[in-house]
Amino acid sequence: MRRLYISIILTVIGSLFIITWGLDKIVAKQTPTQAQSEYALYHQLIEGFDRQLSSQDKNNLAHFSQQISQDYQLALQLDKSKNIALPHELTPQLSQTGGLLLASETQPYLLKQLSQHPDYIIQLSLPVTTVEEHKIDMILTATLYLGVCIILLAWLFPLTRRLYLLTQTAANIGAGNLSARMPLNRLSYISMLESSFNRMAAQIEKLVADNKILARSMSHDIRTPMSCLRFGVEAAMDTKDLTKKDQYLARMETELTRMEDMTTAFLEYAGMERQGFHLKLEAININDFLKTINTDFQALAEQHNVTLNYHASDELTKNPVILSLDFHWCYRAIQNLISNAVQYANNEILLASYRRGNQLYINIKDDGKGIPEESIDNIFDPFVKLDVDRSRELGHFGLGLAITAKVVHWHNGTIQVNNKADFPKAPNDKQQFDSAITKTSGACFTIALPISTQEK
């Protein structure tokens, strides 16, 4: 919006300056010509009066000047030169041809020194052209305002066009075209508003898509436990054997527990968007944070007979990085990745951290079978479960990686996954560490978090 304010101020001030400067140039060129043509007749008249009065005797000058004034119906006066107060530089112009044109507060007038009687000066009052001057002033004023309006309209046209496009895009989104976006232009006055609108539209599209997936997944996955419950109720009602009735009731209780877990997981994911606006950010030492996670998951790794190791680069060890993060959600994001790695690893899992420029990278790698290449693009989508052996009956709903991706997005980071080869042994120096970063088998998840200038 600052660009909008500055452009308005510069446009108004610039238009006023340019238009008034142009009008001044036009008026300055026209005024001398106009004055010369308008008073040319009076210059000739005062020359004639000078010749007539110069031919008279000095004693008869006053009477003769009055006679001329009456005959020509003009305001002609005779006065002595010493009674006329003029600047020194204007005095020689009294004797020039046509006289000296001056103006008082009421009207213009001509002064002329008599050729044969230099002690006397005649003054001829000229009529005031108020009507014509008023018309000129009106024309100039109208020209000024019209010019300002034209310049403002020229400035407003691209703004109104961008607002029109923004309105049309909003209407398209309201009509159901959630992929509609505002075309960006770096010269736009409202580029920040347009970028914010596109981000909002992307969030709305993603939210609606997630809700559709949630509804579709729930409607699909809830049918099995509902059918089991229906069968259990009918079987319990039909049987007379109390032992079988108890077995049916126990199965029904198990199905209800599964339904409860499923509903809780789905609703928790649906409500995660609100959580993103209420993060409890705190300064966290990444090295200490990852060491804590590594320690906490050693028991889980031992249960699955795999080794979990944490390694930080030499640079990160010597110069710890402090980031502003939400401890709970970041812990859960790393937890989801390690839990998956433990399930698929054959022998080893590597949790590594390093810094490249203004980015902090966290890698979680395992030496398992990896991820099918055709599934990498949608692995972070909600309710995507690549392994059919991990059923929802065991509490796997395909939300772990989707939650991790959301948490990383909340912290303005990115997450990627790929498959590498040649899982290395634990690195001890920088060269070995760099090798560990670039070589691994199985799945390799990489989280990149920005390091701001206030953070080390």
**What does the pLDDT read at residue 441?**
62
The answer to whether residue 61 sits within a structural domain is: no
Sign of the C-alpha dihedral, residues 138, 143, 144, 148?
A: positive
For residue 420, being part of any structural domain is answered with yes
Residue 315 sits in the same domain as residue 374: yes
Residue type, 28: A
Residue 407: left if φ>0, alpha if ψ -120 to 50, beta else—which one?
Answer: alpha
Beta-carbon contacts of residue 210 (< 8 Å; ≥ 6 apart): 269, 270, 382
Q: What does the pLDDT read at residue 360?
A: 92
**Calpha distance 273→250 (Å, rounded):** 36
Per-residue confidence (pLDDT) for residue 107, from 0 to 100: 80
Residues 403 and 321 occupy one common structural domain: yes
- pLDDT of amino acid 426: 41
Could you give the CA distance from residue 199 to residue 196 in angstroms, rounded to a whole number?
5
Q: Which residues pair with 447 in a beta bridge?
A: 362, 415
How far is it, in rounded angstroms, from Cα 204 to Cα 102?
76
* Widest CA span in the chain: 157
Q: How many other CB atoms are there within 10 angstroms of residue 154's CB atom?
A: 11
If asked whether residues 251 and 335 sit together in one domain, one would say no
What pLDDT shows up at residue 422? 42
User: For position 28, what pLDDT does the model report?
Assistant: 60
Domain boundary (270, 295, 327) is at 270
User: Based on the domain organization, do 370 and 264 belong to the same domain?
Assistant: no
258 inside domain:
yes
Distance CA 304, CA 368 (A): 13
Q: Are residues 302 and 238 in the same domain?
A: no
Examine the domain organization and report whether 307 and 416 are in the same domain.
yes
Q: Provide the phi-psi class of 323: left if phi over 0, else alpha when psi is between -120 and 50, else beta.
A: beta
In a shared domain, residues 261 and 313: no
CATH number of the domain to which 396 belongs:
3.30.565.10
Q: Do 256 and 289 lie in a common domain?
A: no
* Whether the model pTM is above 0.75: no
The pLDDT value given to residue 296: 92
Residues 301 and 405 in one domain: yes
Residues 241 and 283 in one domain: no
- Backbone phi, psi, residue 345, to 5°: -70, 150
Q: Looking at the domain assignment, is residue 197 inside a domain?
A: no
- Measured distance CA(16)–CA(8) in Å, rounded: 12
Q: pLDDT by residue for the chain (456 residues), tens digit each?
A: 566 666 677 777 777 777 777 766 766 665 554 555 567 788 888 888 888 888 888 888 888 888 888 888 888 888 888 888 888 888 888 888 888 888 777 788 888 888 888 888 988 888 765 545 556 667 777 777 777 778 777 777 888 888 889 999 999 988 888 889 998 887 787 888 888 999 899 888 877 877 777 677 666 667 777 777 888 888 888 888 888 888 888 888 887 887 777 777 777 776 666 666 678 889 999 999 999 999 999 999 999 899 999 998 888 888 888 999 999 889 989 998 998 889 888 889 999 999 888 899 999 998 888 888 777 877 887 766 665 444 444 445 677 888 888 899 889 899 998 876 444 444 444 455 555 545 556 788 999 999 875 555
Domain end (from 252, 270, 288):
270
- Tell me whether residue 282 is in a domain: yes
Domain that holds residue 384: 275-450
- DSSP bridge partners of 416: 446
Quote the pLDDT of residue 274: 67
Q: Is residue 105 part of a domain?
A: no
**Alpha-carbon distances of 358 from 126, 314, 350, 400, rounded to whole Å:** 82, 16, 23, 28
What residue has token string 């009294």?
Answer: 94
Residue 74 within a domain: no
| 323 and 404 assigned to the same domain | yes
Number of domains, the chain: 2
- What is the rounded distance in angstroms from the CA atom of residue 134 to the CA atom of residue 130? 6
246 and 330 both lie in a single domain: no
Can you give the pLDDT at residue 291?
A: 93
Residue after which a domain boundary falls, among 254, 270, 286: 270
What is residue 386's three-state secondary structure?
A: coil
Is residue 141 in some structural domain? Answer: no
